[in-house]
Structure 1
Amino acid sequence: MRAVVFERYGDPAEVRSVPDPEPAEHGVVVRVEATGLCRSDWHGWMGHDPDIVLPHVPGHELAGVVEAVGAGVTGWRPGARVTVPFVCACGRCPSCAAGDQQVCERQTQPGFTHWGSFAEYVALDHADVNLVAVPEGMASGTAASLGCRFATAFRAVVAQGRVAPGEWVAVHGCGGVGLSAVMIAAAAGARVIAVDLSSGALELARRFGAAHTVDASGGADTASAVRELTGGGAHLSLDGLGSPVTCAASVNGLRRRGRHVQVGLLPSETGATPVPMARAIALELELLGSHGMAAHAYPPMMELVRSGALRPDLLITSTIPLDAAPGALTALDTAPTAGVTVIEPWS
């Protein structure tokens, strides 16, 4: 198959021919119809994830058709259109037994623990636990976007963030996951403030329901701007980018007893990220993490997408072939595009 491969962290990736994957006994091989280009892929390429073994194929946000099935799989057959959470759970550990597959103790992640979906085919583990059927009529690009950014944002806003109608919600960083959070929070009846450096991203945020936008360029004090716009601070705030600056701004923009949800990854050279804990203590803030969403939790989100209440398809602003993926991956940090970019390996 053709796949995007990198040999060393930070060095240019290239499209080359590599062996086709084989399904594990409990897994499947999926013919990739669409796969999202995500900032997490950039983190992996830069070496921020210790699970990656080189050489490596990135990609974790996908939809496609089941091509081959392991002998132990009972619920799926070749030809099924599927998507999958980026956390593939084992289905047997205590966390899985409690329904918390998104924090499975023996999880695998395509594009991190093994070769991913920037390829014509990808192997996925524990198919009976993790695969999600793609509804008839849903485009593959839309389905692919659900596996990481949209599903992660949905759980971050609805389950972890406990959003309520009329609340103020601030979203720091309006890439794919941030714009998804804006759309989901607005659909839930919240008043949303979107914060970003990019005028294009802020324009999309307004289109998807943001009541206000805050330009973070030039070192702006975005936390003060959020507190002023909300009359004291957001009830719920999310860091969708993942940086010390956006994390601190999210926490500092909360009102008393507000809730911060960290969604974006926070790598640092020291392995630690400064968080304004004095404010968290003084205002009794909640600081929460959000790590994807289990396959069994997809139905309510899927129904909102099916009904048109949520429109993840509108987040897709660019579709590219596999040959363009290495350059797009490299550009994610220096020239990020507004919205979601989808790769179609067979185009």
Structure 2
Amino acid sequence: MKALVLTGFQEKLEVLDMPDPTLKSQRDVIVRVEANGICRSDWHLWMGDWDWIGLKLELPHIMGHEFAGVVEAVGSEVSRYRVGDRVLVPHAHGDGTCEYCLNGQQNVCEHVSFAGTNYWGGYGRYVAVPDGDRNLIRLPESVDFDSAAGLGCRFMTAFHGVVDQVAVRPGEWVSVHGCGGVGLSAIHIAAASGAHVIAVDINEDALALARSLGAVATINAKSGDVPAQIRELTGGGVHVSVDALGIAATCQAAVNSLRKRGRMLQVGMTSNAEAGMIALPIDNIVLQELRIIGSANMPVGRYPDMMRMVENDVLRPGDLITRRVGLDEAGDVLSTMGEYRGTGVSVLNRW
């Protein structure tokens, strides 16, 4: 099969002929990928980030963790899926045995594994997904593959964070710092939940897209003191802030934008500049009773609620897509993500 292959960190990704995947277990499923989202997490992996959390890829490697497609083959022990079924792949897999999996929290499994990281992913046309009965989601006919791609990572991560972790309520003020894929998803979901959303970024095109997705106000972070501008807009600060990027500037601005007893959602993960450590105003956190809440991926059991909202057109993940590319173009899209030039979500859908 043709695939976009990581052969060296921070080196040009190569389109190569790679072996078609095979079933390693009779519980596995082969998926023919029809759409794969080009996600900033792949950029982090391409950069060689995250060794401080124990993550290091063996090369050569096929990345891609936001994919949807059609079942091509199933093992004899697979009972829920058949050849021809339309599916998407939640990229965080639980083992089904630890205390968190048994509580329905597979996203923080003691032995969590990731599509496109622990095994070759959606930058190849075919993917062998382990334990298909547990690690696939059936895709309704009304949801197209391009829209479904982000439901495996960015969109579902934002949904779990906004709806479950910080429980955004109608009428609350919410600021989202960083308008990449997960930030735009958070804006759209928070606005659909009835919140008043303020989008913050340095890219005017991204801010315009944020308005189309439901933001009632936008702030260009180059324009000055972001927390001060947010406090003026909201009369004292937001109820909820979201750091959707994971750099020091967005994390600190998110915390400092909160009103007393506010909730801060951290979904962005750091790069080499921070290596997992960001300074925060601890005294203010104490005195204002602020809450900082992490959110990683989404439990598989939350998919039905999110999918119903997508089917009913309350949530429209396809509205985030601004570019569809072929395999030869995808590498350049991914490698330039650190320059923050792109707007919206790019999807690979041609091999």
TM-score norm. by structure 1 comes to 0.96
Displacement of 1:267 in angstroms is 2.8
Alpha-carbon separation, structure 1, partners of 2:235 and 2:128: 50
2:19 aligned partner? 19
Select 1:172's aligned residue among 156, 171, 177: 177
Counterpart of 2:262, as a letter, is G
| Alignment correspondent of 1:103 | 108
| Residue 194 (str. 1) matches residue 195 (str. 2) | no
1:278 Cα offset (Å): 2.2
Going from structure 1 to structure 2, the CA distance change for 1:213 and 1:298 (only over 3 Å counts) comes to: same
The unaligned stretches of length 5 or more in structure 2 are none
- Measured in 2, the distance between the counterparts of 1:104 and 1:95 equals 6
Q: What is aligned with 2:239? A: 235
Q: Is 2:7–2:14's contact at 8 Å kept on the other side of the alignment?
A: no
The yes-or-no answer on 1:341 pairing with 2:342 is no
Question: Following TM superposition, where does structure 1 have runs of at least 4 consecutive aligned residues deviating by more than 3 angstroms?
Answer: 268-271
Aligned partners of 1:280 and 1:27: how far apart in 2? Answer: 46
1:66 match: 71
Contact 1:51 1:113 (C-alpha < 8 Å) held by counterparts: no
Which sections of structure 1, spanning at least 5 residues, go unmatched?
none
Cα displacement (A) at 1:277: 2.1
Is the alpha carbon distance of 1:51 and 1:345 closer, same or farther for their aligned partners in structure 2, counting shifts above 3 Å? farther
Q: Are 1:250 and 2:251 matched, yes or no?
A: no
Residue 335 of structure 1 deviates from its aligned partner by 4.7
**2:48 equivalent in structure 1:** 47
Paired AA for residue 8 in structure 1? G
Q: 1:159 aligns with which of 159, 164, 189?
A: 164
**1:265-298 residue CA offsets vs partner (Å, 9 max, x unmatched):** 1134554222222221121111111111122211
C-alpha change, 1:124 and 1:51, in structure 2 (3 Å) is farther
The correspondence of residues 92-171 of structure 1 with structure 2, limited to 5 A, is: 92-171=97-176
State the percentage of identical aligned residues: 48
Distance in 1, matches of 2:350 and 2:91, equals 18
- Shift in Å, 1:262: 0.6
SS in 1 for 2:114: coil
Q: Which amino acid aligns with 1:236?
A: V
Aligned to 1:330: 335
Whole-angstrom CA distance in 2 between matches of 1:37 and 1:89: 23
CA distance in 1, matches of 2:104, 2:341: 35
Partner of 1:318: 323
TM-score of the two chains, using structure 2 as the length reference: 0.95
**Count of aligned pairs:** 345
Counterparts of 1:91 and 1:188, CA distance in 2: 31
Q: Does the alignment pair 1:283 with 2:284? A: no
Name which of 197, 210, 219 aligns with 1:205: 210
